[in-house]
Amino acid sequence: MYTYQYPRPALTVDCAVFCLCHSDTYVLLIERANEPFQNKWAFPGGFVDMDEDLDTAAYRELKEETGFEAVSISQFKTYGAVNRDPRGRTVSVVYLAQMEAETLPQVKGDDDALKAQWLDVNDLPGLAFDHDQIMKELKGYLNLL
């Protein structure tokens, strides 16, 4: 096996799922069970497995942490600021989904999420990692500002 001599960043995926319900827009977030940012809200997501495609990882993390899978996601943007994750150099591919519903779909925190919940995009707490910056860019992109 070839050994690569240069350090490599970790790779993660994050899922930003927005739902329009009765003229209000909600985003699906998880409350983190573990450090860093334990008990803070974040997009569902996590590390990509070595034998896994990015899309597969995004769908897996979304389902593992929220129980939700009835949505089509696509890549939005990649975030790679050097200090975005206190655990070390981490690059995240953010996925985006938009949907409409008469009632918000049921979700349940699982895996390393204490809770999964739909939160009004106009009433969000401070988010973990660089997710406040990501949310601001997503809201601009979706004309939710």
Q: Name, in order, each residue with C-beta under 8 angstroms of 64's C-beta and a sequence gap of 6 or more.
A: 46, 110, 111
Residue 59 domain-assigned (yes or no): yes
Report whether 62 contacts 73 (CB < 8 A).
Answer: yes
Q: Taking the model in full, what pTM does it have? A: 0.95
Q: In 3-state terms, what secondary structure has residue 2?
A: coil
Mind listing the pLDDT tens digit for each residue in 70-122? 999 999 999 999 999 999 999 999 999 999 999 999 999 999 999 999 999 99
How many domains, the chain? 1
Mind listing the pLDDT tens digit for each residue in 29-79? 999 999 999 999 999 999 999 999 999 999 999 999 999 999 999 999 999
Residue 85 domain-assigned (yes or no): yes
Give the range of the structural domain holding residue 68, as residue numbers without chain letter.
Answer: 11-141
HSE-CB of 128 using CA atoms within 13 angstroms: 23
Cis before 36? omega within 30 = yes
Taking the C-alpha atoms of residue 105 and residue 4, their distance in angstroms, rounded to an integer, is 45
- Tokens describing residue 10: 């970790």
Q: Residue 59 belongs to a domain with what CATH number?
A: 3.90.79.10
Residue 35 domain-assigned (yes or no): yes
